[in-house]
Structure 1
Amino acid sequence: MNRRSFRDIHGILLLDKPLGLSSNQALQAARRLVGAAKGGHTGSLDPLATGLLPLCFGEATKIAGWLLGSRKAYEAEVKLGVTTTTADLEGEVVETRPVPGLDDATVEAALAPLRGLITQVPPAYSAIKQDGVPLYIRARRGEAVDVPSRQVEVYRLDVLERAGDTLRLHVECGSGTYVRSLAVDLGAALGCGAHLTGLRRLWVEPFMAPAMVTLDELHAAAEAGPDPLDACLLPTEAGLAHIPRVELDAAQTRVLGFGQPVPLGATATPGRCGVWGDDQRLMALGEVGTDGVLRVLRGFNLPPP
């Protein structure tokens, strides 16, 4: 297919981001192959990280920002005894220290305070912006970077393997958590320092068992034609699979179509929901209030199923 021609295509691609590409580079490569006129990703992965990067195309981009706050899981490799400027392999070595003799109990004692609701200082080399400028740009200029701490949630942090001075960890965390900072804090707790040497994102809610597609597979599908290419995409509603589904009748569909709130009654469950019209078309990401009234958060303009 002609990769210079773009089309109206709507859906979600579960990309297996390769090593060495930024999230935006991976997005643009996939968007060109898919031929999507509009695309966005649902949360950055560092160039040295691989794994699941959900990409949204067309109308699905309307939920990309909402999916940023989803729970995520990673497999991380941490090297003890060495700290770097970036807290990962990209940076220059700052300090090398001997690693003390470790046993399972010592490692677990260092990991325990890093679980649950914790206060974390993100890396100075991060995409967090201050006065509109990413911190990593300030850090590369040699400017003093004062990184504010933030509260994040770590649901799971377990050792999968311990081999010499290297730990392989399973991490499940909420939005805004930096695994690089977990590595730094773990190294500090063990008294020897540490940095991240490998990171792979395993899943992002609601894609808990993702069938990921590589750029090579996407390229092969693009060469085969639009049908194999479109088969790589999930429908937009797949991004709403973890929230309740509300189905409207014909009268309610008309009301919502005019952008008006829809009374559902006192028995309606409050909270966010996906909203389908009487033609089984996804109409909106909505929210039901405690008053039983459905209001639109983001409306979709999808073709009929």
Structure 2
Amino acid sequence: MQQVKRKRRSVSGIIIFDKPYGFSSNGALQKVRWLLNSDKGGHTGSLDPLATGVLPLCFGEATKFSRYLLDADKVYEATMQLGATTNTGDAEGEVLETKAVNVSAADIEAVLPQFRGVIEQVPPMYSALKKDGQPLYKLARAGITVERPARTVTINRLELLSCEGEQARILVSCSKGTYIRTLVEDIGAVLGCGAHVAQLRRTEAGPFDLTHAVTLEELERVHEEGGAEALDAYMIAVDSGLQHWPIVYLTEHSSFFWLNGQPVRAQNAPLEGMVRVYNHNQEFIGVGEIDDDGMVAPKRLIRSQ
């Protein structure tokens, strides 16, 4: 008997998901997308299966703007396991070396300043970065190590939250592309005892934090009670991740031309940079960038419903 293909819904918005332990970011997306019965979805940057916490999931028209959330700063709370290094930089990997731990909270506090601000990081082999089209983690699993150029990242905040025995908890606020596993390994190397990530929780991603997040258990419960449509209550507006951008309002006439790909002039537009654009009905219609002529050039568009 031929299986009937499930008819997907066309829904647009963002769900701030509290990713559980053990799920890949894509696995989390596909699970929520199935519950929501959405025809289109995307996530806003990978969280390791070991990590939990804030993962904005974009559906429908919101997927057009996921790249801007991907660029946003993130905040993490990480538990460092001192005295042991692993091949993955976290508790999932094989232990490479162990050392005695003779480190105090004061010792950790003393080394943290050198990791604040703009720093260089060498990405780990166990990462989704690619070398000649091949993900590094696949090469690593095959026992192959390749040279990785250092990347510049910014650590906005780095604080010691607690230190007990051979574990220490740190808070990290950082730019996109920062590897917390590498940061912890580098701190452990400077301390002389080595370290890896035992636990990792993302508490903020751009404008979103854990107070906005919904758990898988809650989504499953509401889905069981009310079906996919009941989950729409957890969707926030497509433009929710862009609230820190300047607003530009267009007239009905200008909106028509702008939505057809033409730069237009707008009252009270900033002199430069990215803007979120709304039509004469105050409906979000996309994002633009101020061009050299001071006009609002369309970058990503949605059409009003």
Instruction: Flag whether TM exceeds 0.5 (same fold).
Output: yes
Query: Which of 237, 240, 259 is residue 238 of structure 1 equivalent to?
Result: 240
Q: Which residue of 1 aligns with 2:91?
A: 89
RMSD over aligned CA atoms reads 1.7
CA 1:238–1:200 in 2, change beyond 3 Å: closer, same or farther? Answer: same
Confirm or deny that 1:122 pairs with 2:123: yes
| Distance in 1 between residues matched to 2:240 and 2:94, nearest whole Å | 41
Structure 1 counterpart SS, 2:208:
coil
Q: Which residue of 2 aligns with 1:154?
A: 155
Contact 2:279-2:285 at 8 Å conserved across structures:
yes
For residues 184-224 of structure 1, what are the alpha-carbon distances to aligned partners after superposition, in whole Å with 9 as ceiling and x for unaligned? 00001101100000000001112246421111211222231
Moved more, 270-279 or 192-201: 270-279
CA 1:30–1:266 in 2, change beyond 3 Å: closer, same or farther? Answer: closer
| Distance in 1 between residues matched to 2:16 and 2:217, nearest whole Å | 13
Question: How far 1:132 moved relative to its partner?
Answer: 1.1
Structure 1 counterpart SS, 2:288:
strand
Letter in 2 for 1:246: V
Matches within 5 A, 1:132-211: 132-208=133-209, 210-211=211-212
Confirm or deny that 1:19 pairs with 2:24: no
Contact 2:36-2:229 at 8 Å conserved across structures:
no
Q: TM-score, normalised by structure 1?
A: 0.94
Question: How far 1:145 moved relative to its partner?
Answer: 2.3
Query: Which of 278, 281, 284 is residue 282 of structure 1 equivalent to?
Result: 284
Letter in 1 for 2:291: G
| Distance in 2 between residues matched to 1:219 and 1:285, nearest whole Å | 33
Moved more, 247-256 or 258-267: 258-267
Question: How far 1:302 moved relative to its partner?
Answer: 4.2
Query: Which of 64, 68, 81 is residue 66 of structure 1 equivalent to?
Result: 68
CA 1:93–1:32 in 2, change beyond 3 Å: closer, same or farther? Answer: same
Moved more, 255-264 or 21-30: 255-264
Structure 2 counterpart SS, 1:31:
helix
| Distance in 1 between residues matched to 2:191 and 2:95, nearest whole Å | 18
| Distance in 2 between residues matched to 1:101 and 1:42, nearest whole Å | 37
Question: How far 1:227 moved relative to its partner?
Answer: 4.5
| Distance in 2 between residues matched to 1:226 and 1:166, nearest whole Å | 42
CA 1:3–1:94 in 2, change beyond 3 Å: closer, same or farther? Answer: farther
Moved more, 176-185 or 253-262: 253-262
Contact 2:52-2:200 at 8 Å conserved across structures:
yes
Question: How far 1:239 moved relative to its partner?
Answer: 1.7
CA 1:267–1:29 in 2, change beyond 3 Å: closer, same or farther? Answer: closer
Q: Which residue of 2 aligns with 1:44?
A: 46
CA 1:115–1:46 in 2, change beyond 3 Å: closer, same or farther? Answer: same
Matches within 5 A, 1:213-228: 213-223=214-224, 224-228=226-230
Letter in 2 for 1:172: S
For residues 142-189 of structure 1, what are the alpha-carbon distances to aligned partners after superposition, in whole Å with 9 as ceiling and x for unaligned? 112222210001100100111111110111000000000010000011
| Distance in 2 between residues matched to 1:273 and 1:203, nearest whole Å | 23
Contact 1:14-1:54 at 8 Å conserved across structures:
yes
Structure 2 counterpart SS, 1:262:
coil
| Aligned pairs, number | 301
| Distance in 2 between residues matched to 1:155 and 1:81, nearest whole Å | 26
| Distance in 2 between residues matched to 1:183 and 1:32, nearest whole Å | 35
CA 1:70–1:267 in 2, change beyond 3 Å: closer, same or farther? Answer: closer
| Percent of aligned positions that are identical | 46
Contact 1:14-1:210 at 8 Å conserved across structures:
no
Contact 2:259-2:301 at 8 Å conserved across structures:
no
Contact 1:7-1:37 at 8 Å conserved across structures:
yes
| Distance in 2 between residues matched to 1:101 and 1:75, nearest whole Å | 20
4+ long deviations beyond 6 Å: none
Contact 2:83-2:194 at 8 Å conserved across structures:
yes
Q: TM-score, normalised by structure 2?
A: 0.94
Question: How far 1:3 moved relative to its partner?
Answer: 10
